Structure formats: structure tokens, C-alpha cells
């Protein structure tokens, strides 16, 4: 679509909530926003007392005496799994389906709340039998099998801290994360299904754990059933489950006890272990899931995220379960075995709420409308997106073809760090616009600021900050309080949270996200830092220097382009190009493989030695080159461009 048409779409289309939706919506006016704005600490404490079942009810709301190390509901005591499982079963809701799990090969498991509780209790006992207790760290490295949520919940039941590592990460990346958290136990599987192929998870874990002395046991789920090597510290999941005590009482956790950590990329090569605690995180998950998804007892809700990312934590596991929802989980990717897989599942399971990433939507557009139209999607009533800005064209397609023009779309902005959704339309309240995240949920205070930290007036753009603490906010970076302060609480002052995103408001004051303003690339909704890729590249013996950038990608939002200077004695061959891309994938994971890798005689640097990333971006995106006169050596750009032209026209 041309830029002009796209701009026109952005500005002109308005989709008000339908009358029928408004009539039944959980949030249909701004009274919650008003209550929160009047006294946000009191507002959150009221919600916390009403929505969470506590062992000891909190009397305190926000403790900001040691900002930015904020604490919430600190004198409260609870257990997440009691709130997600036991309380529903005790109230007579044990027979309700918690998850309909569908495997990639087509196998299915329907699990009720009572059954899920039984499995979680057994798994929790099994962890205890392996010596895992409160405060211990457990790495979970699995595909989207039912055991993944069960393992997370089993940790939460006994107060162990889970660190889920996405099954697409390579052995080195996995080892870094296990070492940083000094995990005692790793939970994995023999393999994971991925487009009909097996990802050999166990082999990868064996390689990683060889350099992780803290690991005492590896618990292995049987999924893909190929032969695997068996080491002294290995235990089969099913054997541990069979031997385990079927009962396991929930540990009483303080609201500020750590629930989980989840690694995400920052602007250095070392990933950050984002730390979330129990009470505040749960409240954020519960409230946002109710408000944004307008969840009702008869909904069938499907969030397509993998539990390896934060969306899977908050909107596959904790939010939906705490709200006693029925969810669908699908093990595979949308294109396997065919592009209508998701719509088949929507039809078969009568999904009412569908929440996915813009990348998936763009890929589905490419696959064609008939894949959607071949199936009955009339059960759908609400659609959502997350992970990256959605372009208006994709939004409109989603609205018309998946939503039949009748389903509101919630474009939800948030981060691993925020724990739960911060900005989103509310489906019974907001007039939506294709590509806009509209505005804050109750209690949140986004402020767009300029370079100096001054608020940008309505209609302008700048840096997105959050200027009021919220319960599900990150508490720190694991083992690195200083980095926590430096990354999030320094740029604009000690009480201003810097998101790392750019944003603008339109004339109505509605918010539009503009992507990252730091060195983080967003590939298909996965965060990767440029430095992580660069350090992987310079770790290769042929590479002297490297620069990585995110370049625009039609489907994935961004793809990785890398510029490489070779050491003397190495030749710029096609084989080396492939070898370097494979090297990066081998260290970080396949999703981090550079799509474009260019050899450069030198990197374009300013006279003060700063790499001109903008020029690299122009080259990678095949644009006319901008001003290069400030460069130390303008000829370099032409040389890189020549290599780029050869690559792109092959």
C-alpha cells in the first residue's frame, strides 16, 4: 500500500464500539479511570483486596520510600496457584475446562480446573522431591506442551522462582541464562515439534548444562519420543509424577516474594533477568485481562503466544486462570500443517477471543483470505494484538476478514518489564483507530516527553515514559540493581520509568507507538539487542568488527541486517557469509539469524568515531543514501552499498 493511502487510513478510520458490545461490556465508562486518578494507591488496594484471595490481607498499598524499588501490598500473603486453581475448585468450578490443548500433530488434551490442580500438586511434590524449595530458581525450556504451564504453576505453588527460556534459544544463550540465575533444576523435553520437525531440546540442554555447575537435576518430559542421551542427573517427568505425593499445600508467599524472572534483551550483550513479584503481578494480570478482554464465564479465549515470552506468562497462564477462563493452547505455528490451522481451531473450539501478534497477521494476509473464509469464525467477538506496532493495513485486514467487521480490536502495548498491559483500547469504551494503542488502562500514567524530559503537547511525538508506579511493574534486574536504575530510572529522573519506545499522540490525544528508540530490534515480536548480535559476530575468528541494525521487513516488522569487517587473511566469500549467519543462529537462536549480512571494508563512522547506523539502515532498506559528508571516509558507504546491491538482486 502506498504511504499516502496508509496515512489516509490512519487518520480517517474510526471504529466506535458497537451498541451490543457496550451493553454487556465490563468497562463501559470512565469511572475506574477517574477513581484511579483521584488516588491510585487506594484504587489498587481496593482492587487487590476484592480480586485476590489472600492468606493475610494487605493493609498497605504502595511503598515508595525506597524508589525506584517500589513495593506493593507488602504486608499481604498469598499463593498464585491458590488464586489460579484451588479457589475456583473450592467454589464448585472444578469441572470447567481450563485449557483445551492441541498438539502440532493434532493430538488433544482437555484439562479441567480440578485436573489441572491435581497435576500441579503432583508436579510441585515432584519438584520438592528433587530438592527444590522456596526461592530456588528453576529453568524451564520446553515447547508449548501442557507441561509448560504446569511446570510454571508447580514452581509458584512451592515458591520456587521460574525462569522460562523460549525453546528457540540456542545452547549458549540457554547456558547464559541458567548461569546468571544459578538454577538448580532444568525442566525440558526430549524434543519439541516445530513445523513437523523435531527441535532436540534435550540435546541442547545437555550441551548447555555442561557449563552450568549449579544444575543438580534435569527433568525431562517425553514428547517427541526420539532416543535421547541419558545422564546421571536426568529424571523422566512422567516417572517423577507417578512417584510424587498427589497433594502439595500451597506455600504462603509474601506479596513481594519473587514469582518469576524472565530474560529479555537490553542494549548490552548480556540479557536482563526481569524480576516480578507475587501480589502486584497477579493483580496486574487479573485486572488487565478482565478489562481489555472483557472476559466472561462462557468465553473461549485464545492467546497464541508461547510461554517463553511474557505474553504467555500473563495472558496464557496467570491472568486467564486467575479469572477462571477457558483457554485454547496450540503447540505449533500458524502455518503448519497449513495456513488455515488457526481458523480451523477457531471453528472447532468456538473461540470467542483471539489474541495474536501483528507478524502472524501479516503472514496470514500473505497466505490469502480464503484460508480464513473456508472456516466458520462467527464465534469470534473480540480480537487483540501485541508485541509490535500494527500497520493500519494489517489492522484493517484483521478487522474485515477475521473479525467480519464486527469484532473490536484491542492493540495492547506493554513490555516484559511492565508485567501486564499498560496501553490499550477498552472494547466497550474506546473508539479505535487502525494502528493506535489509544490510551492507558485505569491507574496508568503514560507521558510523552522530549529529550529534556518535558511533556510534549498533544499532537506531538517523543519518548514514552510512565510516570506513576503500578502493581505489576518489574522490581529489579536479577542480581543487578544498578543496571535496573541505569536502564529505566535515570534518563528522565529517578521516578520516571523510561520505556525505550517512541510514541506520539494525535489531535484527539490518542497514542501511537513508533517502535524502539534504543538499540533493540523487534523481529516478529521478539526482542533482540544489536549488541548481542554484534558480540556473537566478533566472537567468530574471521570477524574484526561488526554492526547490526533492524531493517524494515514486510512480514516480521524488522529483520536483522549485519555489517561485518573481516580480519586480514579472510576472504569475503558466499560460504563465509552463510557461516557467519549460522554462527549467530547457533549462539543465540534461529530467530536471531541475520537476513542480510554485508561485508564492509570499514564501518561508516563520523569523525568522532560513532557508527552512523542511519546510513546502514538506508543501505539495508535499499534507499537512496542520506547525507554522508560528515563521514570520516565517504567511499566506504559506496563499497558496502555495492555488496548490498549484489545481495539484494540475487
Identity of the residue, 221 or 386, whose beta carbon is nearer to ligand WTA in the bound complex = 386
Residue of 459, 361, 357, 442 whose CA lies nearest to 402: 361
Q: Which residues pair with 497 in a beta bridge?
A: 466
Residue 414 binding ligand WTA, by CB under 6 A: yes
Question: Cell 492493540 belongs to which residue?
Answer: 411
Stretch near ligand WTA under the rule CB under 6 A, chosen from 20-28, 304-312, 471-479, 584-592: 304-312
Residue 165 binding ligand WTA, by CB under 6 A: no
Stretch near ligand WTA under the rule CB under 6 A, chosen from 46-54, 156-164, 380-388, 594-602: 380-388
List binders of ligand WTA among 473-532 (CB under 6 A). 499-501, 513, 516, 522, 527
Stretch near ligand WTA under the rule CB under 6 A, chosen from 37-45, 307-315, 570-578, 597-605: 307-315
CB 522, min distance to ligand WTA, A: 6
CB 527, min distance to ligand WTA, A: 5
Which one among 386, 422, 547, 551 touches ligand WTA, defined by CB under 6 A?
Answer: 386
Identity of the residue, 33 or 516, whose beta carbon is nearer to ligand WTA in the bound complex = 516
CB 98, min distance to ligand WTA, A: 23
Residue of 275, 213, 264 whose CA lies nearest to 473: 275
CB 10, min distance to ligand WTA, A: 14
Length of the chain: 650
Which one among 76, 279, 384, 387 touches ligand WTA, defined by CB under 6 A?
Answer: 387
CB 552, min distance to ligand WTA, A: 15
CB 526, min distance to ligand WTA, A: 7
Residue 360 binding ligand WTA, by CB under 6 A: no
Which one among 332, 389, 419, 550 touches ligand WTA, defined by CB under 6 A?
Answer: 389
Stretch near ligand WTA under the rule CB under 6 A, chosen from 33-41, 132-140, 237-245, 387-395: 387-395
CA 153 to chain CA mean position, Å: 18
Identity of the residue, 73 or 413, whose beta carbon is nearer to ligand WTA in the bound complex = 413
Residue of 215, 151, 137 whose CA lies nearest to 189: 151
Query: CB–CB of 291/319 below 8 Å?
Result: no
CB 26, min distance to ligand WTA, A: 21
Residue 309 binding ligand WTA, by CB under 6 A: yes
Identity of the residue, 301 or 563, whose beta carbon is nearer to ligand WTA in the bound complex = 301
Q: Which residues pair with 432 in a beta bridge?
A: 15
Identity of the residue, 27 or 423, whose beta carbon is nearer to ligand WTA in the bound complex = 423
CB 276, min distance to ligand WTA, A: 12
Question: By CB neighbour count within 10 A (0-12 exposed, 13-18 middle, 19+ buried), where does 229 fall?
Answer: exposed
CA 271 to chain CA mean position, Å: 14
Query: CB–CB of 161/136 below 8 Å?
Result: yes
Residue 558 binding ligand WTA, by CB under 6 A: no
Identity of the residue, 309 or 343, whose beta carbon is nearer to ligand WTA in the bound complex = 309
Radius of gyration of the chain, Cα coordinates, nearest whole angstrom: 24
Query: CB–CB of 397/360 below 8 Å?
Result: no
Which one among 437, 438, 448, 546 touches ligand WTA, defined by CB under 6 A?
Answer: 437
CA 622 to chain CA mean position, Å: 30
Contacts of 34 (CB under 8 A, 6+ apart): none
Residue-wise DSSP of 176-205: HHHHHTT-SEEEEES-EEETTEEE-HHHHH
* Dihedral angle over CA of 621, 624, 630, 636, nearest 10: 70
List binders of ligand WTA among 246-275 (CB under 6 A). 264
The sign of the torsion formed by the CA atoms of 396, 399, 402, 404 equals: negative
Q: Grid coordinates standing for 76?
A: 499481604
Identity of the residue, 257 or 501, whose beta carbon is nearer to ligand WTA in the bound complex = 501
Q: 629: how many CB neighbours lie within 10 A of its CB?
A: 6
CB 271, min distance to ligand WTA, A: 11
Residue 172 binding ligand WTA, by CB under 6 A: no
CB 13, min distance to ligand WTA, A: 17
Identity of the residue, 326 or 499, whose beta carbon is nearer to ligand WTA in the bound complex = 499
Cis ω before 337 (30° cut-off from 0) = yes
Query: CB–CB of 480/272 below 8 Å?
Result: yes
CB 636, min distance to ligand WTA, A: 31
CB 437, min distance to ligand WTA, A: 5
Stretch near ligand WTA under the rule CB under 6 A, chosen from 114-122, 180-188, 250-258, 407-415: 407-415
157 phi and psi angles, rounded to 5 deg: -65, -40
* Phi and psi based region of residue 64 (left: phi greater than 0; alpha: psi -120 to 50; beta: remaining): alpha
Identity of the residue, 416 or 487, whose beta carbon is nearer to ligand WTA in the bound complex = 416
CB 411, min distance to ligand WTA, A: 5
Stretch near ligand WTA under the rule CB under 6 A, chosen from 224-232, 306-314, 341-349, 402-410: 306-314
Which one among 79, 163, 327, 416 touches ligand WTA, defined by CB under 6 A?
Answer: 416
Identity of the residue, 512 or 563, whose beta carbon is nearer to ligand WTA in the bound complex = 512
3-class SS letters over 481-547: HHHHHHHHCCCCCCCCEEEEEEEEECCCCCEEEEEECCCEEEECCEEEEHHHHHHHHHCCCCEEEEE
CB 446, min distance to ligand WTA, A: 12
Residue-wise DSSP of 388-446: SPPPHHHHHHIIIIISTTTS-EEEEB--TTT-S--B---TTTPPB-TT--B-BPTT--E
Identity of the residue, 416 or 531, whose beta carbon is nearer to ligand WTA in the bound complex = 416
Rule CB under 6 A: which residues touch ligand WTA?
264, 309-311, 386-389, 411-416, 437, 499-501, 513, 516, 522, 527
Amino acid at each position: 500500500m502506498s504511504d499516502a493511502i496508509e496515512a489516509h487510513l490512519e487518520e480517517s478510520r474510526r471504529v466506535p464500539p458497537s451498541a451490543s458490545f457496550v451493553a454487556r461490556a465490563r468497562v463501559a465508562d470512565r469511572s475506574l479511570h477517574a477513581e484511579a486518578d483521584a488516588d491510585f494507591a487506594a484504587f489498587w488496594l481496593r482492587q487487590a483486596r476484592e480480586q485476590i484471595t489472600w492468606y493475610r490481607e494487605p493493609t498497605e498499598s504502595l511503598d515508595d520510600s525506597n524508589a525506584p524499588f517500589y513495593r506493593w501490598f507488602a504486608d499481604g500473603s498469598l499463593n498464585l496457584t491458590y488464586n489460579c486453581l484451588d479457589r475456583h475448585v473450592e467454589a464448585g468450578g472444578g469441572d470447567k475446562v481450563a485449557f483445551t490443548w492441541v498438539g502440532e500433530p493434532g493430538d488433544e488434551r482437555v484439562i479441567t480446573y480440578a485436573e489441572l490442580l491435581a497435576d500441579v500438586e503432583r508436579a510441585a511434590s515432584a519438584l520438592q522431591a528433587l530438592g527444590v524449595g522456596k526461592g530456588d530458581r528453576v529453568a524451564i525450556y520446553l515447547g508449548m506442551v501442557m507441561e509448560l504451564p504446569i511446570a510454571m504453576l508447580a514452581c509458584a505453588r512451592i515458591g520456587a522462582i521460574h525462569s522460562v527460556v523460549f525453546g528457540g534459544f540456542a545452547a549458549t544463550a540457554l547456558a547464559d541464562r541458567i548461569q546468571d540465575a544459578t538454577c538448580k533444576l532444568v525442566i525440558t523435553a526430549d524434543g519439541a515439534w516445530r513445523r513437523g520437525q523435531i527441535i532436540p531440546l534435550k540435546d541442547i540442554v545437555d550441551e548447555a548444562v555442561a557449563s552450568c555447575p549449579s544444575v543438580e537435576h534435569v527433568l525431562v518430559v517425553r514428547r517427541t519420543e526420539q532416543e535421547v542421551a541419558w545422564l546421571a542427573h536426568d529424571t523422566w517427568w512422567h516417572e517423577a509424577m507417578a512417584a510424587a505425593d498427589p497433594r502439595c499445600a500451597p506455600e504462603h508467599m509474601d506479596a513481594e516474594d519473587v514469582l518469576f524472572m524472565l530474560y529479555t534483551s537490553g542494549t548490552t550483550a548480556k540479557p536482563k533477568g526481569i524480576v516480578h513479584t507475587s501480589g502486584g503481578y497477579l493483580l496486574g494480570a487479573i485486572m488487565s485481562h478482565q478489562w481489555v478482554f472483557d472476559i466472561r464465564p462462557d468465553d473461549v479465549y485464545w492467546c497464541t503466544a508461547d510461554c517463553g515470552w511474557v505474553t504467555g506468562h500473563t495472558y496464557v497462564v496467570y491472568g486467564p486462570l486467575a479469572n477462571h477462563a477457558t483457554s485454547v493452547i496450540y503447540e505449533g505455528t500458524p502455518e503448519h500443517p497449513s495456513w488455515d490451522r488457526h481458523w480451523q481451531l477457531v471453528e472447532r473450539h468456538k473461540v470467542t477471543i483471539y489474541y495474536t501478534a501483528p507478524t502472524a497477521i501479516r503472514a496470514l494476509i500473505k497466505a490469502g483470505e480464503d484460508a480464513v473464509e473456508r472456516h466458520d469464525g462467527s464465534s469470534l467477538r473480540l480480537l487483540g494484538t501485541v508485541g509490535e506496532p500494527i500497520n493500519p493495513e494489517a489492522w484493517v485486514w484483521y478487522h474485515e476478514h477475521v473479525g467480519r467487521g464486527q469484532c473490536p480490536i484491542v492493540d495492547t502495548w506493554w513490555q516484559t518489564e511492565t508485567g501486564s498491559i499498560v496501553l490499550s483500547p477498552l472494547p466497550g469504551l474506546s473508539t479505535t483507530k487502525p494502528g493506535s494503542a489509544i490510551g492507558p488502562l485505569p491507574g496508568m500514567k503514560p507521558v510523552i516527553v522530549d529529550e529534556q524530559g518535558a511533556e510534549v503537547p498533544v499532537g506531538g511525538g517523543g519518548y514514552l515514559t510512565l510516570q506513576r508506579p503500578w502493581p505489576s511493574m518489574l522490581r529489579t534486574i536479577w542480581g543487578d540493581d544498578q543496571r535496573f536504575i541505569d536502564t529505566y530510572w535515570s534518563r528522565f529522573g529517578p521516578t520516571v520509568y523510561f520505556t525505550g519506545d517512541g510514541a506520539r499522540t494525535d489531535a484527539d490525544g490518542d497514542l501511537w507507538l513508533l517502535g524502539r528508540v534504543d538499540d533493540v530490534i523487534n523481529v516478529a515480536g521478539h526482542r533482540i539487542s544489536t549488541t548481542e548480535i554484534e558480540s556473537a559476530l566478533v566472537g567468530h575468528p574471521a570477524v574484526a568488527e561488526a554492526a547490526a541494525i533492524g531493517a524494515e521487513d514486510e512480514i516480521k516488522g524488522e529483520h536483522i541486517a549485519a555489517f561485518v569487517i573481516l580480519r586480514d587473511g579472510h576472504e569475503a566469500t558466499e560460504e563465509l557469509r552463510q557461516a557467519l549467519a549460522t554462527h549467530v543462529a547457533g549462539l543465540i537462536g534461529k530467530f536471531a539469524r541475520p537476513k542480510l549480512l554485508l561485508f564492509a571494508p570499514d564501518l561508516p563512522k563520523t569523525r568522532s568515531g560513532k557508527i552512523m547506523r542511519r546510513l546502514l539502515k538506508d543501505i539495508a532498506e535499499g534507499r537512496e543514501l542520506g547525507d554522508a559528508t560528515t563521514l570520516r571516509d565517504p567511499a566506504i558507504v559506496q563499497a558496502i552499498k555495492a555488496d548490498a546491491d549484489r545481495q539484494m538482486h540475487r
